[in-house]
Structure 1
């Protein structure tokens, strides 16, 4: 994580999304979108995925350490349930970011001119 060059990848990813061209079917039109935006989106999406995965790992480690407090009721069941929902959403976000980054990179690879 320390080697990541961007400080706020999720914010940066969300800033690039509105720049994409959307087809009449409601899908991203990769061929009509700016290649620089696709490249930036792929990087931001990958970094967001990594942040989500590292955060999920950290939450899991904290939950293991907090198990005794959960058993005694010092940490409410509502808090644990909320963490569960957050973890599920972060996992879903990571998966969507992976698919988005892969789609952008796949289009960029096919759209790039090939050497003779």
Structure 2
């Protein structure tokens, strides 16, 4: 069975497909000047792009891990997430408050698995 890797570097592949499962590595926003809503929209747009590279889309997400620097951002992040999720296809999910690795202005990271 072949493992497909997309946007690979020395450290990681942004997307990996194996046995019909798509793994998207932790995605962070590029513009850290935005608030949690803006950063969440950026990350979800990146997720859409990476899922498309693997031949799938957000309606096929199985599980998502979301890390937030501030628990107080939970409601604002969820508002963006809920507008983005395909109706009737909400995945399983965990959201964790975490001191993210990076500048203090980095507010969110998302990693997930989907079906191909």
Q: What TM bracket, shorter-length normalisation?
A: under 0.3
More helix by share: 1
**TM-score using structure 1 length:** 0.25
Q: Structure 2 length as normaliser, TM-score?
A: 0.25
Larger radius of gyration: 1
